[in-house]
Structure 1
Amino acid sequence: MNLNLKDFLKYLSHFKWFIIIIPVLCVVLTYLFVKELPKKYKSNTLISTGITQQLSESALLENRTADNFKISQQFGNLLEMMQTRRAITQLSYKLVLHDLKNPEHPFTKYSRLITQLSPQQRDTVIKAFESRLSSQALISPADNSEYRLYDILKSAAYDDKSLLKKIEIRRSGESDFINVTYTSHNPDLSAFVVNTLSNDFINYYTNLSMMSRQQSLAVLDTMLREKGSEMMNKNAAVVNSSIHATAQEAGALNAQRRSDLINQKVSEAESQRLGALRNISSIEGALDEINAKLNGDGGYLQQDGYKENSEIIRIDNQLQLANQRYVNNNFRPQDKAAIDSLQNIKSGLVLTSSSAQNTNYKGLKQSLIAQKMKLENDLASARSGLAAIEQQLRAIGPRQGYSAVAARAGSQESLIREAGMSAKDYADVKEQYDKASLLSKAGVNLALVEPGLPGSPEPSRDYLYMAFSGVSSLFMLLFALLLVFMLNKTVVTPAQLEYTTKQKVLGWVNYIGEDKDLRTIWNDNAKDNEYACYKDALRSLRVDLNEIMGDDKKVLGITSLCRQEGRSFLANGLSYAFAMMGKNVLLICEKGSNLTNVITNTNDDATSQVFESFLVKKEIQIENRITVLNRDTSHNSLLELKDSKSLIAGFDILKDTFDIVIVDIDSSQDMHKVKEWMMFCDKSISVFEAGNKIKKENHVFVNYLSRQPGFIGWVMNKVQVKHVS
């Protein structure tokens, strides 16, 4: 449904009396209900907390801004504590005890449960409530014993749920105060509730805070004593350690000197060992170079004595192994004798090899051999010296570590460090103790700044309730009408028809009642009745159709969605309207229709002509401006009468004879007839009765019309028009 504000307002106009009467009725009923309501009395107390001031001063001392979140958190804790079940239950006990002990002036009228109690039973109930009050016991339906204590509280609306509905506990803006408010039918009751609840909570919170602070101070005091004792023990240990260290310092200094001397000798021996290793490395390098020259590398010597040289190399390898064995075995004499034997063999081979060389190189080779022998002797001497140095290092022993003086000095420093840490821990605990002691004296101290007093009744809200009742009922009614309007599928305006079918609407024709004599309608000269509106609508539709049809399109088919939508009467009216323009009009309609009588104003059926006879004779009698051809409804199909060529030829004769041919086609309920007649119509329109619905199954016909090239739009018929100026 397309929601159109204009259509909705028009729809509301049909229910204007409901829209007026229902809100007025609701206002009257509300007045009757609220005029007897009891007056309400409100009382409130103001509790000072000191939270804001305390945290602000603490923040200034620490040079920072106040923590608003912490302030809100503390206020939230206080508000929740005041609304706990324990606090409200204590209030409930005091309220019911007041009423039971003061039967002449109770806060609330006695319920049936209380009036049924005998004096002895009432005394028993009072003692039971006093016992529960002193023990601060909670109450629940399980406590409904012989005297149904919980039900007595609930009957007087003194149970925790009933009281919390009327108690309002909140922080007063951003201030340091808590506002407690209670509203009831009795001013004394309101004052009693807020004062009792506030005083009881102040006493409870003060005792709780004091107990908590005392416990905290006791714990901190114990910790402070323990840390003090520990600090004194550490300081005494430091003093004793200093005295003992002074007594043994002289002997420890001698031991330190001996340790330094040993370390110095070890350093000197290690330096000598390093020099010997360097000397051995250089001698071995020189020997490698001389051996290379003796082997002929670099062109120093010829290779004539190859055999002797190979033997010399083998002896050199054995000498190297013997020297290594001599060192590893701690310079044994047997290893030394083996080295000397190998040296003699090597010398003999060298001499033999030297005699075989060319006389030109003999001197050079002997020089190299002499240098080699000298280096080998130096190498053996250096290795012997290295062995002696290593033996000396083993005799001296390892380096000495820290002396006893250093160890005692480290122990002394450790004791001093532990004493300092112990002193710091004592100072931290002392600071916490001082802060807790200060908070215990300047903590959150609740105080009743402004007590609750019985006051005058609250301003009446009767007019507010009445206004709310009237406005809410009006909006609910409008919403209901809007919902009905949106869900209503009835099409009553051309705009709705165009939106629903997605097709053009050419115009509309109003409803004119039962009198359908066209001559009476057209001869009426009134300007503000339904006949004048009907004629104007037909004239407007005639202009649009005449413009669309033109001179070459003469056959206009008129169909409808359903039967009885005024299709035939509209065909008759259009025929009369075109005839008023001076055109010769042919109207083809169903046989038996009274359209002939309406047009000609005669009951003589003999003057009517039959369309089927025309198809046979191809003759037609023209009567004035309007000629009628009746269709025989006994034939179910137009194409079964004649073939399509004959039918086309017949319609060509009609087009040549008349200015316009209007065919009253069947509705969508005779779909096959609509399709057959549409084949011979140049243009076509469809009639829709205002107030009908286009159902889901009707969209098949609507889609069919949209596919027809000659379909030009819809005409809405029987539109209700109350007054046309």
Structure 2
Amino acid sequence: MTELSQFLRILYKNKFVLIFVPLITVVAAYFLVKALPDQFKSHGSIATGLVDKTEQGLMSSGTEQDFEIARKFDNIIQMMSQKKVLDQVSYQLLLHDLKAAEKDDFRSASKDLQALDQNARAQAVNVLTQKYKTQQELSPAVPQEKKLLAILKDMGYDAESVQKKLTIFRLSNSDFINIEYESDDSQMASFVINTLSSEFIKMYSARLTDTYNRTISFLADFLEQKRMALRVQMNGLRDYKIKNRVLNLDEQAKSLYGQMAEFELRREVAKKDVIAYGVAIRNIDNRFSANDRKYFESAVSGINQSIVATKQRLRALNEAYVKSNFDPKYKAGLDSIQTKLSAQINESTDRYVYSPLSLKENLVTQKLTMEVERDLAANSLATIEAELKTLNNKFDGLVPNEARVQEFETAIDIAGREYMEALQKYNDARLASSFPATLKVAEKALPGVIQPSKKIVLVILSGVISFAFCLFILFILYFFDSSIRYPQQLANATDRPVLGFVNQLGGGFRISELQNEHTSEGKIELFRNLIRSIRFELDNEFPDPKILSITSLSEGSGKTLLTLSLAWAFSKINKRVLIIDGNFNAADITKLNTGSRYLEDYLTKGDTVTTAAHGSISILANKGGDVSLLELADETRIKEALATLKTQYDTILVDAGSLVSMNKAKEWITFSDAVVAVFESGHSISYDDRSKIEYLKGLNGKMAGWVLTGAQDILKQSGRVSKHVAE
């Protein structure tokens, strides 16, 4: 709160600055904004088709996320704000003024534009038209184009000037982009918006079409590459099959595998039959005696030869049947020969002249039949083994062909998928190019509506800003001002109490001038009251008799004036007061009060000082020079002299000089009962002053306190001043 009150005092001190500076600013702003033209605002809108996709028909997917749509809107808005687009608007504005009548111009022609003759205007129109059609910028390197750039800037038609008054934004979450423009001409406001909309839509559509065309062209080339790659792989497979006589590996492998399985089954059956029939025949032979076999063989020798011949024919036909992979055309011949063989066996049985005692006719018949079946099975086994070997060789030959064919088929499958993906992308691109999300003008801009005047706002704002600026400057000055102007500041800075403060009185004066209580001057009257307050603090804390040394941190702080004033104040309460001018370097009291006794004579020669009456003031002057107290007399003599003076006076005030000459002031402080330090208002505590303040703080109770002199900022404060103790 102390800092705030001090800052408020500074504001009060500079109240006229805070009043007149904003007032002057307001008046100046009023005359400046008075000539400002009225402003007109127009607005239009563009439908993007990014949210509302009803016109896209089947192409409307509705799968885009909100952030993707927002990003597209941001891109469109940034593209509309590009210099390339705004340059097109600038060219149109200047072309309008160059071609239109003077009364239809959007703005008054600049000096450079007025200086153009008919030929120059025609050349300017041609250059601007050419730049407009080719969508190129004017080059400062070309003199004529540089001049046109200067005209655009002077007229406020350049891209930067247009962009300052242009506002482009998306309306909430809708499908529309709003465009607003503010100008000093209502027709110009709508012209800028409509031109910007049409130019941007044209450029955006051309850019979109170019992008689609480049995409389709690239995808077409890519699709052709994939088609050629697929065709190469298919031709390679075809040529390989032709070269290696491969028809259908899967069907061939299945057929060979089936034949091999069938022949393996027949081989196993034949092996079983050979073994089984052999065992059966041996068992039958074991049942016949040697005489039986001799009788039997002699009886049937003729028919047996026929049976052997038939068996040979049956064996040959059976081999052909097996080698033909069991062709059905051989089946009829086999059946016919088999029937003939059965008839011959039956005939052999009929001719069998067997002993009547024998009962083995059926065994003979069975033996003959089994021998035929055994021979057939044994003959078939060799043929089946040969065919199995042939089939295995054929099957082994299919394996490398299968690996190579699979390699071709895998490559064809990959190439086919790549081709189909490329074809899908190509079709999607062609379909998207047929239904693009084109922009269109949703609301055409109309002539602008006049806007509420901002002149009053600008005037008020100028006053507020100037007032805030003044406050800021005063705060900066206060913040960086380390000078001490108030008692509380001094107490906080020195950590010692402040006895009071006194206002400033110009020029030196004698005691008699201060004693003239009939003076009605306000400063002197206030000064007397402040001195009385300081006297009260000293008299209340230090009883009589007492020696008070008055010092300061530097020369010229008002120490002499305070000494004389305190002497007057103590005399007003019937105290006997002695003033000792102990400042040998600057004997101001001696100069102001000539004819007084000298301190040197009193200490060295033993001169006597007459005891003063109550309420009177005596002065001990000094002769000056580069001396100190202890150089005039020894410590014992000084103590005796001061003790004698204390019996004659109630209060002894010593002007001890400043602490700049440390030893001289310290000598007086050594023999004093209390020390009063003087600090002049408006000065700051320097680095060198810190050691002096530490010395005063270490005086063990002798330091009575500080007195602030020349306090200009608190002249109105009067009455009793209490101690300001640092917190």
Confirm or deny: 8 A CA contact 2:189 2:447 kept in the other structure: yes
Q: Which residue matches 1:87? A: 85
Q: Please, which of 600, 613, 618 is the counterpart of residue 624 of structure 1?
A: 613
Q: Which residue matches 1:645? A: 636
> Is 2:19 the counterpart of 1:20?
yes
Q: Aligned in 2, Cα 1:610/1:154: closer, same or farther, shift over 3 Å? A: closer
Query: Which segment is superposed worse, 529-538 or 90-99?
Result: 529-538
Q: Aligned in 2, Cα 1:614/1:88: closer, same or farther, shift over 3 Å? A: closer
Confirm or deny: 8 A CA contact 2:579 2:654 kept in the other structure: yes
Confirm or deny: 8 A CA contact 2:589 2:621 kept in the other structure: no
Query: Which segment is superposed worse, 248-257 or 695-704?
Result: 248-257
Q: Which residue matches 2:319? A: none
Confirm or deny: 8 A CA contact 1:49 1:176 kept in the other structure: yes
Q: Aligned in 2, Cα 1:201/1:572: closer, same or farther, shift over 3 Å? A: closer
Query: Which segment is superposed worse, 40-49 or 520-529?
Result: 520-529
> Is 2:474 the counterpart of 1:481?
yes
Q: Aligned in 2, Cα 1:593/1:93: closer, same or farther, shift over 3 Å? A: closer
> Is 2:492 the counterpart of 1:462?
no
> Is 2:717 the counterpart of 1:717?
no
SS, match of residue 632 in structure 2? coil
Q: Aligned in 2, Cα 1:451/1:681: closer, same or farther, shift over 3 Å? A: same
Q: Render the CA deviation track for 1:344-399: whole Å, top value 9, x for unaligned.
A: xxxxxxxxxxxxxxxxxxxxxxxxxxxxxxxxxxxxxxxxxxxxxxxxxxxxxxx9
Q: Aligned in 2, Cα 1:139/1:582: closer, same or farther, shift over 3 Å? A: closer
Confirm or deny: 8 A CA contact 1:559 1:567 kept in the other structure: yes
Query: Which segment is superposed worse, 200-209 or 510-519?
Result: 510-519
Confirm or deny: 8 A CA contact 2:139 2:145 kept in the other structure: no
Q: Which residue matches 1:654? A: 645
Q: Render the CA deviation track for 1:625-684: whole Å, top value 9, x for unaligned.
A: 245241322463322332222222222333445444322222345544323222211321
Confirm or deny: 8 A CA contact 1:3 1:486 kept in the other structure: no
Tell me, in whole angstroms, the C-alpha distance in 1 between the residues paired with 2:572 and 2:145: 102
Q: Aligned in 2, Cα 1:680/1:434: closer, same or farther, shift over 3 Å? A: same
Q: Please, which of 400, 413, 418 is the counterpart of residue 425 of structure 1?
A: 418
Q: Which residue matches 1:162? A: 161
SS, match of residue 141 in structure 1? coil
SS, match of residue 450 in structure 2? coil
Q: Please, which of 246, 249, 273 is the counterpart of residue 245 of structure 1?
A: 249
1:37 to partner: Cα distance = 1.0
Q: Render the CA deviation track for 1:454-475: whole Å, top value 9, x for unaligned.
A: 1222221111211121111112
> Is 2:604 the counterpart of 1:612?
no
Q: Which residue matches 1:302? A: none
Tell me, in whole angstroms, the C-alpha distance in 1 between the residues paired with 2:97 and 2:573: 99
Tell me, in whole angstroms, the C-alpha distance in 1 between the residues paired with 2:406 and 2:643: 133
Tell me, in whole angstroms, the C-alpha distance in 2 between the residues paired with 1:400 and 1:74: 69
> Is 2:558 the counterpart of 1:541?
no
Amino acid at match of 1:443: P
Tell me, in whole angstroms, the C-alpha distance in 2 between the residues paired with 1:715 and 1:572: 14
1:210 to partner: Cα distance = 2.7
SS, match of residue 628 in structure 2? coil
Confirm or deny: 8 A CA contact 2:139 2:146 kept in the other structure: no
Tell me, in whole angstroms, the C-alpha distance in 1 between the residues paired with 2:145 and 2:139: 14
SS, match of residue 51 in structure 1? coil
Q: Cα RMSD over matched residues?
A: 4.6
Confirm or deny: 8 A CA contact 1:510 1:719 kept in the other structure: yes
Confirm or deny: 8 A CA contact 2:77 2:168 kept in the other structure: yes
Q: Which residue matches 1:73? A: 71
Q: Which residue matches 2:623? A: 633
1:554 to partner: Cα distance = 2.6
1:254 to partner: Cα distance = 11
1:23 to partner: Cα distance = 0.3
Confirm or deny: 8 A CA contact 2:46 2:177 kept in the other structure: yes
Q: Please, which of 479, 487, 490 is the counterpart of residue 494 of structure 1?
A: 487
Amino acid at match of 1:243: L
Q: Aligned in 2, Cα 1:541/1:136: closer, same or farther, shift over 3 Å? A: closer
> Is 2:575 the counterpart of 1:587?
no
Q: Render the CA deviation track for 1:203-226: whole Å, top value 9, x for unaligned.
A: 222233234324433444555566
Q: Aligned in 2, Cα 1:99/1:660: closer, same or farther, shift over 3 Å? A: closer
Q: Aligned in 2, Cα 1:459/1:631: closer, same or farther, shift over 3 Å? A: same
Q: Aligned in 2, Cα 1:449/1:524: closer, same or farther, shift over 3 Å? A: same
Amino acid at match of 1:556: L
SS, match of residue 37 in structure 2? coil
SS, match of residue 107 in structure 1? coil
Unaligned runs of 5+ in 1: 261-398
Unaligned runs of 5+ in 2: 265-391, 720-727
1:49 to partner: Cα distance = 0.6
1:711 to partner: Cα distance = 2.8
SS, match of residue 551 in structure 2? strand
Tell me, in whole angstroms, the C-alpha distance in 2 between the residues paired with 1:462 and 1:555: 72
Q: Which residue matches 1:509? A: 502
Q: Which residue matches 1:556? A: 548
Tell me, in whole angstroms, the C-alpha distance in 2 between the residues paired with 1:131 and 1:593: 94
Confirm or deny: 8 A CA contact 1:141 1:151 kept in the other structure: no
Tell me, in whole angstroms, the C-alpha distance in 1 between the residues paired with 2:185 and 2:513: 81
Q: Which residue matches 2:386? A: none
Amino acid at match of 2:247: I
Tell me, in whole angstroms, the C-alpha distance in 2 between the residues paired with 1:612 and 1:461: 84
Q: Render the CA deviation track for 1:69-125: whole Å, top value 9, x for unaligned.
A: 422332233223323343333333332222222124222323344434443443344
Amino acid at match of 1:33: L
Tell me, in whole angstroms, the C-alpha distance in 2 between the residues paired with 1:597 and 1:218: 110
> Is 2:684 the counterpart of 1:666?
no
Amino acid at match of 2:622: D
Confirm or deny: 8 A CA contact 1:529 1:723 kept in the other structure: no
Between the aligned residues of both structures, percent identity stands at 27
1:451 to partner: Cα distance = 0.8
Q: Aligned in 2, Cα 1:118/1:543: closer, same or farther, shift over 3 Å? A: closer
SS, match of residue 672 in structure 2? coil
SS, match of residue 4 in structure 1? helix
* Equivalenced residues, count: 582
Q: Aligned in 2, Cα 1:570/1:124: closer, same or farther, shift over 3 Å? A: closer
TM-score normalized with structure 1 length: 0.68
Tell me, in whole angstroms, the C-alpha distance in 1 between the residues paired with 2:2 and 2:422: 78
> Is 2:681 the counterpart of 1:690?
yes
Q: Please, which of 447, 467, 484 is the counterpart of residue 440 of structure 2?
A: 447
Confirm or deny: 8 A CA contact 2:47 2:177 kept in the other structure: yes
Q: Aligned in 2, Cα 1:507/1:431: closer, same or farther, shift over 3 Å? A: same
Tell me, in whole angstroms, the C-alpha distance in 2 between the residues paired with 1:156 and 1:589: 81
Tell me, in whole angstroms, the C-alpha distance in 1 between the residues paired with 2:542 and 2:534: 12
Tell me, in whole angstroms, the C-alpha distance in 2 between the residues paired with 1:574 and 1:656: 20
1:523 to partner: Cα distance = 8.8
Q: Which residue matches 1:10? A: 9
Confirm or deny: 8 A CA contact 2:600 2:632 kept in the other structure: no
Q: Render the CA deviation track for 1:472-510: whole Å, top value 9, x for unaligned.
A: 111222222223334445432112323444443222234
1:519 to partner: Cα distance = 8.2
Q: Which residue matches 1:379? A: none
TM-score normalized with structure 2 length: 0.68
Q: Aligned in 2, Cα 1:508/1:402: closer, same or farther, shift over 3 Å? A: farther
Q: Aligned in 2, Cα 1:115/1:577: closer, same or farther, shift over 3 Å? A: closer
Q: Please, which of 670, 673, 676 is the counterpart of residue 679 of structure 1?
A: 670
Amino acid at match of 1:559: T
Q: Aligned in 2, Cα 1:556/1:199: closer, same or farther, shift over 3 Å? A: same
1:182 to partner: Cα distance = 2.5
Q: Aligned in 2, Cα 1:409/1:604: closer, same or farther, shift over 3 Å? A: closer
SS, match of residue 30 in structure 2? helix
